[in-house]
Structure 1
């Protein structure tokens, strides 16, 4: 094995903390809403930190490293404009604010409120299929990482029988996640994800700082210049030969950020866990700032790995890693493990343990969230709508738990036998599009457009899923098929949106009552909105700031805007300059060096700030869960188009 005693001590110590937190959460689950949505008790920092580690996941780290090992710094240049889209989406409360106003526990429950029960069932089935196919490769990738990073043998003997290590590691990971879900549902997910997210942010900074100490910028510059001229790792204007992860990959992603907001339900429990719509909105805004250290970690580490693999100064390490890679017959597996194998060789004792804890926590957080979400969606949106009457709370929770077991069993066997033949992120795009390809139009149209119709919703989902399934089959059957998963996702989004708009205009006979669904005006619910300023905020409204905003809320918004617009301005000036003047590679590497150090400095501030805010939210959440009176009819049932 590659780890020392101190590494294993770090692993055991921090994982033990998670089990203690889970025990605390177990006694707080007293209703279906607690199990599904943490009793709608989470504050903004709790949501921001917890969701941060869920959307990371061990597989996400590996997948993003695949992307940035190929693209280098260049995708980050285009990401500067995407940051503006992120801010616009979050500060406006795009989709999340109105969804929280509906008080729906799942997206499909909202779809029944907006359309009808049959459509809810169909959407639930489609979301469930899309989700478990997408989730199906998670244990596979995580188990492979652990085996190679730790240095576990491919097999071992038990009573004279040879046992493969791969399925055993997957079973161990899934059993831990199942224990967390069984103990406290979404409350356990939020509690453990907060601990994991806080630790993860600190680990990001430690590993980034060590990596910058291990390799210097001259060595990075020497290595990245070995890339082909039109597949540059530092000049975003010279990437015409960069395969898959180029400008078009980025552009489709920008559209997807807006179009698929809340369509992907792997974090469904978080979508309805906020204690108010305003806290949900603020959690989203803080999420933009929370992502700063994570994005830097995802960007820099694979570039350091590329440097070690291509700079003669590190030839001994590179040769050692390459020998291991050459023994793998699977190209996809080689791409996944190249950067982790480099880290396993360069990280000293102690840091290896910290990195392993980070990856385990990232795996647990995603497994807990996805098992909880897909298991809940199957029961809430597929099974229960067929029943004529609601379940008793204890029976309801028991069935939800059994559903998560079913999800775990499926993904175990899927990971065991499915041959992944493309990059992780391209597989994510096309499997996710089975539902999100059409769901984006359905959700956005349902929340914002009173003329959207049920006929249009049905057609939109069907078209999107057909296109996505076609993409999965073609990319599995034909190696190097010219239309990758990202392009199929784009086709699905475009076709579904067009169908939804055209059919809604053709079939609309009566405008839908959005105020009733969103609990606005005469349908409003007491204490759901706390008015801080009764006077109109004319100057602030353009920034998405409303009457609920305190001075602290305004500061957060301004900080988020300032950070984003700083890089947008740099992007605009830099793009104009590059289109008119030849910029040297030395100038580009100098720019990226400055960017990394500025981002690292801001990341330190954000990590400390968020941990302090998160601890306060954690205490408040426990108090609310201990003292609040439960409404056991709040179980996801729709009556007269209301929750």
Structure 2
């Protein structure tokens, strides 16, 4: 057992305080906009902190640490690409500013405005499928981290207990307080984790020599550990995919976009992305660096999923360890709450409500969203325990995200910036965007039976990259070929 009494006291106090603050936020939930987008009152500082908190939980540290352990310094390019994407969105307002002007709550709402109710329903279903698959591994990786760092062991019953407790804590305040709970607790959690990252890096550097880290990368990976183009896990396909996906995900991934939609206006929304982008490279590279340090400390033969948390358990002293785990757990709560709220709100507003004969009132919509959030949480528990991902966690999360964002990019960018985009093109874009990632996920379950001639479908980087190409072709070709029989439905923006 790595945790002592002081660690448990720090962790217990902080989690109890977070839940208390989150539940108290329920008093501010007056209507749908308050529940889903915090009444659109979020300012730059709070919006930036909550977006940073949403996008870096324990699972983020786990998959970034894993890819650092497996690829050395070559993975650092991902932090640069991610920061560039946020900076582009922040400076240009690409997609997000126009969506904020339209005052939508979810991305599929735009589909109905620009195309049709059917596109909204279909797009909502793909968003939900990609979203819950993407989130499916979060709870398991969080459980692995906590079990290793705390010293409980990795038996399935231990993982189940840790995952269940985490789920109960997150649901208790997300379901009650909605987006107000998320943004109120996120700022506090952002501050705590920033301090935790600093002290962890200090103790790692105190125990692992930088010269040994550099030598380990060269010894075990050679030039592939430095040059991402030569690394077999990356290459040009992967880098191009990440460049496109980072921009589209930044603007169209519902948990991220919701922060811009919650802002006071489109100018504040853009600044939130700009300021978040300034920190993103560091937030990626620090846990990646921890993973590279684990390579130097343990060599290349440790389970890549637990190498980084094992290093943390070894070098961070008690007291500081409790504070770090509290900060990481708090950030994970931010991630879960934002994601649960995003996927449950999409289900309620974009899948159930369009097919519901009588319009749901606000109270019914909020109640239904809460029920769906609980059901998604139960799915995370079961899926996380039994599903084994077919690639690295980073690439799994990227490819499940591409299942939705590739088609959404064609639909939203086309709908906002191209007058000829129509509902036929939108349907084709959504279908073709989902085919590549879905084929990879399904075929990877039966890879021993896949003919050699089809093995290219098992290349996660190719599946992710080609999904954006196919979606773009689908939107353009589908709209051009059917423009006369299916005229586009344009929308007007307020000046």
Give the Cα separation in 1 of the matches to 2:364 and 2:79.
47
CA, structure 1 residues 395+434, in 2 after alignment: closer, same or farther (shift >3 Å)?
same
- Counting only pairs closer than 5 Å after superposition, residues 335-354 of structure 1 correspond to structure 2 as 335-354=304-323
Deviation at 1:246, TM superposition (A): 4.0
Q: Which of 400, 404, 409 lines up with 2:369 in the alignment? A: 400
Is the counterpart of residue 106 in structure 1 residue 106 in structure 2? yes
Deviation at 1:247, TM superposition (A): 4.5
Deviation at 1:183, TM superposition (A): 2.2
Specify the alignment match of 2:134 in structure 1.
134
Helix, strand or coil for the counterpart of 1:166?
Answer: helix
- Counting only pairs closer than 5 Å after superposition, residues 240-319 of structure 1 correspond to structure 2 as 240=230, 242-267=231-256, 269-310=258-299
Give the Cα separation in 1 of the matches to 2:84 and 2:181.
33
Does the aligned pair in 2 maintain the 1:453–1:504 contact within 8 Å? yes
- Counting only pairs closer than 5 Å after superposition, residues 462-501 of structure 1 correspond to structure 2 as 462-478=431-447, 483-501=458-476
Deviation at 1:393, TM superposition (A): 2.6
Helix, strand or coil for the counterpart of 1:164?
Answer: helix
Does the aligned pair in 1 maintain the 2:81–2:242 contact within 8 Å? no
Helix, strand or coil for the counterpart of 1:56?
Answer: coil
Give the Cα separation in 1 of the matches to 2:315 and 2:30.
48
Does the aligned pair in 2 maintain the 1:434–1:468 contact within 8 Å? yes
Give the Cα separation in 1 of the matches to 2:264 and 2:349.
21
Give the Cα separation in 2 of the matches to 1:486 and 1:277.
34
CA, structure 1 residues 164+84, in 2 after alignment: closer, same or farther (shift >3 Å)?
closer
TM-score scaled by structure 2? Answer: 0.92
CA, structure 1 residues 252+392, in 2 after alignment: closer, same or farther (shift >3 Å)?
closer
Q: Which of 471, 477, 480 lines up with 1:502 in the alignment? A: 477
Does the aligned pair in 1 maintain the 2:19–2:172 contact within 8 Å? no
Helix, strand or coil for the counterpart of 2:465?
Answer: helix
In the alignment, structure 2 segments of 5+ residues that lack a partner are none
Deviation at 1:63, TM superposition (A): 0.5
Say which one has the larger Rg.
1
Helix, strand or coil for the counterpart of 2:305?
Answer: helix
Deviation at 1:98, TM superposition (A): 0.8
- Counting only pairs closer than 5 Å after superposition, residues 210-249 of structure 1 correspond to structure 2 as 210-231=203-224, 233=225, 235-236=226-227, 240=230, 242-249=231-238
- Counting only pairs closer than 5 Å after superposition, residues 106-255 of structure 1 correspond to structure 2 as 106-153=106-153, 164-231=157-224, 233=225, 235-236=226-227, 240=230, 242-255=231-244
In the alignment, structure 1 segments of 5+ residues that lack a partner are 156-162, 311-317, 326-333, 521-643
Greater share of helix: 2
Specify the alignment match of 1:442 in structure 2.
411
Give the Cα separation in 2 of the matches to 1:96 and 1:271.
7
Specify the alignment match of 1:529 in structure 2.
none
Helix, strand or coil for the counterpart of 2:30?
Answer: coil
Is the counterpart of residue 375 in structure 1 residue 344 in structure 2? yes
CA, structure 1 residues 263+81, in 2 after alignment: closer, same or farther (shift >3 Å)?
closer
Report how many aligned residue pairs link the two structures. Answer: 487
Give the Cα separation in 2 of the matches to 1:9 and 1:246.
46
Give the Cα separation in 1 of the matches to 2:170 and 2:478.
43
Helix, strand or coil for the counterpart of 2:201?
Answer: helix
Helix, strand or coil for the counterpart of 2:56?
Answer: helix
Specify the alignment match of 2:48 in structure 1.
48
Give the Cα separation in 2 of the matches to 1:374 and 1:354.
30
Is the counterpart of residue 424 in structure 1 residue 424 in structure 2? no
Give the Cα separation in 2 of the matches to 1:225 and 1:178.
45
Does the aligned pair in 2 maintain the 1:48–1:290 contact within 8 Å? no
Give the Cα separation in 2 of the matches to 1:272 and 1:181.
18
Give the Cα separation in 1 of the matches to 2:140 and 2:83.
31
Give the Cα separation in 1 of the matches to 2:469 and 2:410.
9
CA, structure 1 residues 433+171, in 2 after alignment: closer, same or farther (shift >3 Å)?
same
